[in-house]
Amino acid sequence: MTRGLLLFCFDTPETKYHKVLEYCVLLAKKNLKLPITVVTNLNTFKKIKPLGFINYKFIDPETGNTKLGKEWNNVDRHMAYELSPYDTTLVIDIDYFCFTDNLAQLFNTNYDFLVPDTAYDLTGRNAFDQRRWSMIPMVWATVLLFKKNDRVKKIFDTVKYIKQYYSYFNEMYRIYASNLRNDYLFAMALQQINGFTGYDKLPFALPTLPPDCEVVKITDNGLAWKYGDQISYVEDQDVHVLNKEMSNV
């Protein structure tokens, strides 16, 4: 049974995502110790510095999605099942930095699909505990663990179907985000596949830095950020960084 990490990375005119990928891969190699496959395009690949033995898969990313008015090429996650060369795959966003080996042990479970459903705001403002308008709880598709089997294939097929009719499902579930978010795609697919009864989840909240925090330093063990006039840091704790300007750190 093969195991590995799958990452998606596409530069945009505004953001050098390949820089974020470089941090992500270095930390994943150090702490998760897994084979890594990066899904990217040729333009991005040419800018990535040598990262050791990495498996690359090239696709043309689907364009058209935006975040805060900027191009955001993140809608190819539904292809993770087909693109992964592994029997068990951990998919993480490249802005999720593994400063620990916490995720590695999850490969040893008999669960075939796991996703977290909560995020933890590292600035202490509980910025992610907002009023929920949608009819279903959101998941954080930032981290996904899946095994290849018939049931999981159907989850990804359902994700594809919902993506195809996204505006309809958005209305139906009262999701008011105008852009396409993998979080909602997977939340809707999991609800439907599981007969609207809930599903198995990862039992921890994703430590997350909100977009208004500026990352000022990254080391092998942790990172520091600026929020207002305060500088804070964490060490030996995984962090999901929402401010993509960190590609310039």
Binding site for another protein (CB under 8 A): 100, 102, 105-106, 108-111, 120, 122-124, 200-205, 207, 229-230, 232, 234, 236-238
Beta carbon nearer to another protein, 39 or 145: 145
CB of 234 to another protein, least distance (A): 6
Nearer CB in complex with another protein: 48/241: 241
Cross-strand partners of 200 = none
Taking the complex as a whole, the smallest distance from the CB of residue 244 to another protein amounts, in Å, to 22
Taking the least distance from each CB to another protein, the nearer of 75 and 206 is: 206
Q: Which residues pair with 240 in a beta bridge?
A: 96, 208
* Residue number with CB closer to another protein (124 or 195): 124
Shortest Å, Cβ 132 to another protein: 21
Strand pairing of 96-97 and 239-241?
antiparallel
CA 148 to chain centre: 19
As a whole number of angstroms, the distance between CA 27 and CA 101 comes to: 10
Alpha carbon separation from 249 to 37, 48, 73 (Å, rounded):
24, 16, 21
Sign of CA dihedral 181, 150, 28, 17: negative
Minimum Å distance from CB 187 to another protein? 17
